[in-house]
Amino acid sequence: MLPGHADRKGTVAACEGSLRRLRAERLDLYLLHWRGRWPLEETLAGFTDLVEAGKIRYWGVSNLDVADLVELTTLPAATPWPSTRCCTTSPGAASSGIRSPGAVRPE
């Protein structure tokens, strides 16, 4: 999902649009591609709505800065962790204390 759609309602609407275009009922993984102007809390609320509605199985993020990943770990909606591995190439990441939570295996 592009960050311009990343508020709670926009997250849900963007996913529903993707489902229509793909002619699918559910996505296994739905990603926020990078952070935009919306608070991460808004995006996670949309992801939670989608999981509860059965429209996505897991959510994830990509291209976030270390500070954004640290913020993500403080949000209640961020647990359980998203199903993607956190692979960072940022020079400051090793000293940030961020560790990959690992991938969540489907039931």
* Tens digits of residue pLDDT in 86-100: 555 555 555 555 554
Instruction: Decide: 72 and 46 in contact? Cβ < 8 Å.
Output: no
Query: Residues 50-64: pLDDT tens digits?
Result: 999 999 998 888 888
pTM for this model (two decimals):
0.74
Maximum pairwise Cα distance, the chain: 44
pLDDT of residue 93: 52
Which band of pLDDT confidence, cut at 50, 70 and 90, is reported for residue 25? Answer: very high
Could you identify the residue written with the tokens 């295996």?
105
State the SS3 of 19-37: HHHHCCCCEEEEEECCCCC
C-alpha 62/C-alpha 67 separation (Å) is 13
